[in-house]
A and B are shown apart, each in its own frame.
Chain A
Amino acid sequence: ETGVTQTPRHLVMGMTNKKSLKCEQHLGHNAMYWYKQSAKKPLELMFVYNFKEQTENNSVPSRFSPECPNSSHLFLHLHTLQPEDSALYLCASSLGTSDTGELFFGEGSRLTVL
């Protein structure tokens, strides 16, 4: 148990579907992140939220739409995805974004786009 919970753990969707990934952290952190993990590639930072405000969009295609209603919850809305979007999507949290420190990761949501 890392304190960061992601659902669903596995998701299969067609290219025309709309689905959402959910992340919840119970650590009292102020910053939350979405990362993409593809095979044989380093973790790619997608979005960063600090105190519910988006502070980073790492040139992510608009078919990925994040939402952060409060500091404990983070969503990633998916629509019109491509097969190359199949990957493990990891949520993470940290105390804040103004300094270095440990990122606490969830177990990830394994996404397969058909």
Chain B
Amino acid sequence: GESVGLHLPTLSVQEGDNSIINCAYSNSASDYFIWYKQESGKGPQFIIDIRSNMDKRQGQRVTVLLNKTVKHLSLQIAATQPGDSAVYFCAENGPSGTYKYIFGTGTRLKVLA
């Protein structure tokens, strides 16, 4: 079945450095992808999204890259801050094409002072 996987369950990054969180997706029909951030004790918070007609999208300190050839998604966080410590999920819209998002298990980002 379809799955969304993450290469690293935990990523430790020095404060001020850039972070890169990777995600592999398996459903070639997916055309919409989202990154969520979940802090301890809180619900997932939307970070950025991207549609399959784009390769790159930038937000405030974050960039999402989409490589459809290898079905790979990445989230880049510039100048990582302590407040960035959280679990990050990627999600794809899957074969339904709509709201039935398929979520990954998440990568924990730890920012070292």
Q: Footprint of B on A, CB under 8 Å?
A: 2, 4, 6, 31, 33, 40-43, 45, 48, 56, 90, 94, 97-108
Contact = CB atoms under 8 A, between A and B. Distances in A.
Given A94-B99, A100-B51, A108-B42, 12 more contacts: A2-B43, A4-B43, A6-B43, A42-B4, A42-B103, A42-B106, A43-B101, A97-B99, A100-B93, A102-B49, A103-B99, A105-B36
A100 B97 contact: yes
B46 A102 contact: yes
Contacts, number: 58
Interface of B: 4, 31-32, 34, 36, 41-46, 49, 51, 89, 91, 93, 97-106
Contacts of A98: 98
A114 B103 CA distance: 28
Contacts of B46: 102-104
Interface-central residue, A41, A43, A108, by most chain B CB under 10 Å = A43
A114 B48 CA distance: 38
A43 B89 contact: yes
Contacts of B91: 43
A99 B42 contact: no
B105 A42 contact: yes
A102 to B, nearest CB: 5
A97 B103 contact: no
Contacts of B32: 100
Nearest to B4: A42
Contact of B43 (A42, A97, A99, A106): A106
Given A43-B89, A43-B103, A102-B34, A97 B45 contact: no
